[in-house]
A and B are shown apart, each in its own frame.
Chain A
Amino acid sequence: MKQEILVKVEHMNKRFGSTVALKDVSIEVCSGRVLGLIGENGSGKSTVTSIIAGMQNADSGTMTYHDKEWKPGSMLYSLEHGIGMIVQETGTVPGITVAENIFLGETKFFKSFGEKHKWGPVKRKLLNQKAQEALDAIGASHIRAEQMTANLDLQERKLIEIARIMNKHPEVLVVDETTTALSQKGREIIYNIMEQMKKENKAVVFISHDLEEIMEKCDALTVLRDGNIIVTFDKSEFDEDKIKSSMIGRQLEGDYYRSDYDGSCEDEVVLEMKDVNLTGKLIDFNLQLHKGEILGIGGLSHCGMHTLGKVMFGNKKPESGEIRIKGKKLKNEADAMKHMVGYVAKDRDTESLCLNASIKDNIAVGGLDQFTTGGFLIFPWNEKKYVQKQVETLSIKCAGINQYVSALSGGNKQKVVFGKWIGRGSDVLILDCPTRGVDIGVKQAMYQLMYQMKKEGKSIVIISEELTELIGMSDRLMIMKDGKIMHEFPRSESLSEADAIQYMI
């Protein structure tokens, strides 16, 4: 099949205030190929693709699509003309049905008296039928078109977005850091779409922090750093170490995961679950977390592990059974915090952060009992000092502590969440997908931090769909399926992903 340049970006520049997001960036997106974009959080990957997809404008530079000048006014315009983008964060409206989300802004086409009639009822049956067809086409038949979107989890909401975009049959598809929100099944859906697009001589721009995944799926890989294009590798030149060092501009020092295979911890039980039941999620669940232990929980997305994290933190009440923290029965989230338990949710933007608030507000809210005088009075200088310390310890890249969290990159947002819990000196940390959407440098820093905390006698539960990080970090790995623990692995050098997968499916 003849390859042609579909999208050409030349000398593009973009600034956000004093931050240079893109500096003289030039990229070519060719038909029949998957182009990977990789770089640290804030390197400019999402900025360049979001400009191509019409989400925002560049400050300078030119773009062409099929050799014609390309200046999309909006994402809708872009999608209508052949360029679609699956965004990093949630892009669905919760209070409406799946079908209405798939045909958002297009329900006029389903009007009983024809699309020209502004008024009149929507043919709901037809709308649902067409939406279901769109879902079926991408292999997401388990989602029903008539369901309310708010009742679906992060992965399912992501699949709705994918169905919405693929229903328009784009010629160029941008997949921005989407796979980290998906389970293996969800990832397979994306991979199939990418493969199909390649076969149809269309183009895909694929952004991911998963190096293994990006090396497997892409035909070429462009590395960005601090808004600059560093290098473009062709498939034949892919080399993990070279890619890593060009991403971060230096060799990664120290261990990525922990290097020891000593899975020992203290005998003291800090968190215990006894015969916990929650319909459809957890069945007769028993677990003990010890002081100084890193406990990994793995499984497929719907195995109940994400609910487990919420139950452990007192956010979801089990129907029977009990959870004890340091011997005391857990009542709710505030009680968990009183016992120095922290919880990092999977859905960062909805559950772990208040996006429309500053870094200071987000970090300080976790430590209100740490820096207040008399338990309730706040002196601004104490609060500032407390927050500043977390920002420095975690090297959060920001313009200042009053910067709004919504303006931060994914990795820095996650650091803010960590700062909220680490700052208050949590003894037990429950981390649900802690490295989702986080670049390799930040990931390494987080792994090192977890290991450091273990050595300090803190206990950590890592819930993750990435088996490599679970195997790399856990003292003990539990694999869940259908709300039950299927198998438990002690830390071992010989433990492989294949060993764990057989208990997951």
Chain B
Amino acid sequence: MKTKNLRKNVMLLAPLFGLVALLVAFFIIGTSKNINVAYGMKSIINQSVVVAVVATGAIFIYTLGSFDISLGASVAVSALVGGIVYNKTESLVIMFAACLGVAVFIGLFNSVLASIFNLPVFVTTIAMLSVLNALVLVLIKMNGTGSEIRVPMMAVSKLNTTQFKIFVLAAFFLVCLLVFSFTKVGRMQKFQGGNPICAKLSGISVKKMSIIAFIMSGIGVGLGACLSIVYAPTLTRNTASSVGMDVIIAIVFGGMPVSGGARSKIYAAVIGAFSMTLLSQIMVMFNLNSGIGQMVKAAIFILVVFLATSDQRGKMLPR
């Protein structure tokens, strides 16, 4: 029994151990190669924080056993609209509000569309991905120079600090943690992810939970868009282009079960996002080009899913 409990706890903490191991490796390798690790760390935070924020919101969707493939495109559209709004109003507050508003609207549209047509959510997000990608091109063409929308660097430079980014991530994470672990919404979401039929027969509104999940995810996307503008105020068609895939990988890296349900963990997103970026940086230190890096990431992704589900695959139910 003790061995089983120990194994269970080790499995539970494995993503955290992984993050610590990667962090140690980064410092050791960086120091041995005479790389400025302090600068490297700042770069890791800059790269991770957008993915971490978006992925933290997305955990709510994954908990339901659903999947959103359009998150990266949502970040791009929200950021572009935010950029356009800033250029018209020159108000950062209105820009942030626009980013959040657009992102939440996209999320709501996704979930409402899925409930009207009674479709799995991921199906509507696939359609939404195409629409949003097209919208990115239209927005840039109509409101920018034709290839970019530029927010003046001076306007956002004061916010482009590690402290601000960490603050946004920490504040959003705490709100999500509260909702996820200490409110009835969080409990209902996990239960619905575990067994939607039983959830419905326990008085849980499947549609309502889906809408709440997409609102939370929308807030994450909106914040991610704001941080994207702060970090790189010149917005192009490539803005946040890799965020969608990075979010999926980060969530799985962080130990989130792909099927959602009771075992879902809100912290998986943050751990996963930082682990993934650290891994990329370590590969860069070894001069592995981005192509090879992507392949290594993909291999680790498969390995993590394999290990995470090995317990269930071999499990015999005690009868």
Q: Which residues of A contact B (CB under 8 A)?
A: 16-19, 21, 46-47, 50, 55-56, 88, 313, 315, 332-334, 336-338, 343, 345, 350-358, 361, 364-366, 368-369, 372, 375-380, 406-407, 409, 420
Contact = CB atoms under 8 A, between A and B. Distances in A.
Interface in B93-137: none
B1 interface: yes
B291 interface: no
Contacts of B182: 377-380
Contacts of B200: 315, 333
A378 B187 contact: yes
Given A354-B261, A364-B187, A313 B201 contact: yes
Contact of A315 (B181, B188, B201, B263): B201
A333 B194 contact: no
B202 A333 contact: yes
B263 A376 contact: no
Contacts of B188: 365, 368
Given A351-B197, A364-B187, A372-B184, A356 B202 contact: no
Given A50-B319, A56-B316, A351 B191 contact: no
B49 to A, nearest CB: 29
Contacts of A420: 202
B212 to A, nearest CB: 12
Contacts of A313: 201
A364 B187 CA distance: 9
B215 to A, nearest CB: 15
B16 interface: no
Interface of B: 1, 4, 181-188, 190-191, 194-195, 197-205, 261-263, 316-319
A420 B195 CA distance: 15
B255 to A, nearest CB: 16
Given A55-B316, A355-B195, A357-B261, A333 B201 contact: yes
A376 B185 CA distance: 7
A350 B182 CA distance: 27
Which interface residue of B181, B188, B318 has the most chain A CB atoms within 10 A? B318
Given A354-B191, A357-B191, A17 B202 contact: no
Nearest to A345: B201
B183 A377 contact: yes
B74 to A, nearest CB: 27
A50 B318 CA distance: 10
A334 B183 contact: no
B198 A368 contact: no
Contact of B201 (A19, A55, A351, A406): A351
Contacts of A351: 197-198, 201
Contact of B184 (A46, A358, A376): A376
B178 to A, nearest CB: 9
A50 B199 CA distance: 30
The 3 closest A-B pairs by CB, nearest first: A357-B262, A16-B318, A354-B194
Which interface residue of B200, B204, B263, B319 has the most chain A CB atoms within 10 A? B319
B318 A21 contact: yes
A356 B183 contact: no
A19 B261 contact: no
B201 A365 contact: no
Contacts of B205: 332, 334
A403 to B, nearest CB: 10
B27 to A, nearest CB: 36
Contacts of A378: 181-184, 186-187
A16 B317 CA distance: 9
A362 to B, nearest CB: 8
A407 B4 contact: no
A354 B199 contact: yes
B203 A333 contact: yes
Contacts of A350: 195, 197-198
Given A21-B318, A334-B204, A354-B198, 10 more contacts: A17-B4, A332-B205, A337-B202, A352-B201, A354-B199, A355-B194, A365-B188, A365-B191, A366-B202, A369-B184
B198 A353 contact: yes
B183 A352 contact: no
Contacts of B261: 354, 356-357
A343 B190 contact: no
17 contacts: A21-B318, A21-B319, A333-B202, A334-B203, A345-B201, A351-B198, A352-B198, A354-B262, A356-B261, A365-B188, A372-B184, A375-B184, A377-B182, A377-B183, A378-B181, A378-B184, A379-B182
A406 B194 CA distance: 12
Nearest to B263: A356
A46 B261 CA distance: 28
Contact of B317 (A334, A352, A354, A407): A407
Given A356-B194, A357-B194, A46 B201 contact: no
